[in-house]
Structure 1
């Protein structure tokens, strides 16, 4: 296990708010829509799998207010996306987002105010520990559902979606340089290859959480992240999924001669079944639509740009 670093006493460079919004503010959040791409072929949220006994549930007062209606009480619903969290790791297991490329609003001002969600216990929401200036070895608050993706629809809706992505429930620790390149561009690339008559994409993103994850600032830090994307392929007209994994193992800070040393990271297209094995989640509904369905779980295709992805069988 990597060397653990103690709590930081340096100033917090990012804006955070200890004030949570009122429960009533979340009453209109509909969250992830399983039938978003094709109403006759719904894609459910990932199943809990081996995390079934470790899911964060809504507080009784949130349930009494009917925040989720008749839906799963472990689902945190936001504007156009939903999150399910691990209690033991105080991190999201995944964040699932619906993207409507025909209504996308990329001009929404960045909210940049991180806050907790009042619907679940504060102790499973790490707002500050280990986060801060990368030059000091601290981590970025890495969006799982990226900021721009749910920002579509009416202007007020898009602005609310942007603010929703800044809940700490939608975050995992990442190195500052991690949020770029393929990780940032993949959703746009898939939209460019989607059926123009149905310009909709579902993206599910999460960390790979392991007992062997290295410890920094009293927190176990995930060494890899994954995405599963679903869309109607422009050429085939078929509902299609692809799996993507990005490692930050070599990009994590480690001590050498008293200095932080940083490495590189790797991008791979992998079978959705392999992501299910690594993440411990039930992704069977997505695995059967995967362009790499049938490939051995250990198969991976290293990619250097989004154009290297296989989008059809």
Structure 2
């Protein structure tokens, strides 16, 4: 086994397990080629949806003090050998449109540790099991890059112990997502950051959602980011987060998505 393979639940000095599929999605978990259900790569793990062929969740560790600046030159997206090819959405979705192959676990988050390990993580990040369709301006425009900068923001705004963060994320796989080329395109994404500050574990959850024009097939650029509570992510995904994360979440957030203001910039985040 390669060093650093898989999400490490003890990375923060306290056990923080990955989310688990609830009863509503348990039967949809795709098998791995070795007879299991969890895919493990360098610094991240995931489970796949068999019906949607995207990840139900991805969990990864970020060591901010050991990150490497590695190029993506020469790296190509590829089907994951740990999951049957027909259970992954590949290049057939992305040709001739504005859809990007978007990393769920950010490539920049994964390239840390000794150079051979960081290089292996760089390669592993390009498996389609870690990819979901995102519009080509996913992190610009009205969002001011908030979604793509959440991990960077916590390091900038919080005294994170040991510069270590564990992150969980994925698409919201809703039954009424728009069908395109035989694939239902997720219109919402979620992310949870866990870290230690001031001697305590904290968890902060975010939802990226979009207002879709029901007529325009790929009018997907009206994205907004909301800070949410973990139970809201659970309700949308059918996943269950560990009690240790639920206890570390913000106790009160006003209303539900649609009833409060979106996060328009990093200063709006409650750490």
TM-score, normalization: structure 1? 0.78
1:220-259 equivalence runs, <5 A: 220-233=184-197, 236-250=198-212, 254=216
Report what 1:88 is aligned to. 51
Shift of residue 194, structure 1, vs aligned partner: 4.1
Q: Distance in 2 between matches of 1:248 and 1:98?
A: 27
Shift of residue 152, structure 1, vs aligned partner: 0.4
From 289, 293, 296, give the equivalent of 2:248: 289
From 95, 99, 102, give the equivalent of 1:139: 99
Report what 1:148 is aligned to. 108
Q: Distance in 2 between matches of 1:245 and 1:156?
A: 34
Q: Distance in 2 between matches of 1:294 and 1:310?
A: 11
Report what 1:203 is aligned to. 167
Q: Deviations along 1:15-72, whole A, 9 cap, x unmatched?
A: xxxxxxxxxxx6556200001011xx2110101112111111122xx35xxxxxxxxx
SS at structure 1 position matched to 2:48: strand
Shift of residue 295, structure 1, vs aligned partner: 4.2
Q: Distance in 2 between matches of 1:27 and 1:244?
A: 32
Shift of residue 296, structure 1, vs aligned partner: 6.7
Q: Distance in 2 between matches of 1:268 and 1:191?
A: 19
- Equivalent pair of 1:271/1:297 in contact (CA under 8 Å): no
Q: Which runs of no fewer than 5 residues in structure 2 stay unpaired?
A: none
Q: Distance in 2 between matches of 1:288 and 1:196?
A: 18
Q: Distance in 2 between matches of 1:196 and 1:266?
A: 26
C-alpha RMSD over aligned residues: 2.2
Q: Deviations along 1:122-146, whole A, 9 cap, x unmatched?
A: 101121222134xxx3421111001
- Equivalent pair of 2:160/2:195 in contact (CA under 8 Å): no
Shift of residue 88, structure 1, vs aligned partner: 0.7
Counterpart check, 1:280 vs 2:241: no
From 128, 152, 168, give the equivalent of 1:168: 128
Q: Distance in 2 between matches of 1:144 and 1:152?
A: 17
SS at structure 1 position matched to 2:28: coil
How many residue pairs get aligned? The number is: 262
Q: Which runs of no fewer than 5 residues in structure 1 stay unpaired?
A: 1-25, 64-72
Q: Distance in 2 between matches of 1:157 and 1:252?
A: 45
Shift of residue 287, structure 1, vs aligned partner: 2.1
SS at structure 1 position matched to 2:248: coil
SS at structure 2 position matched to 1:148: helix
Higher fraction of strand: 2
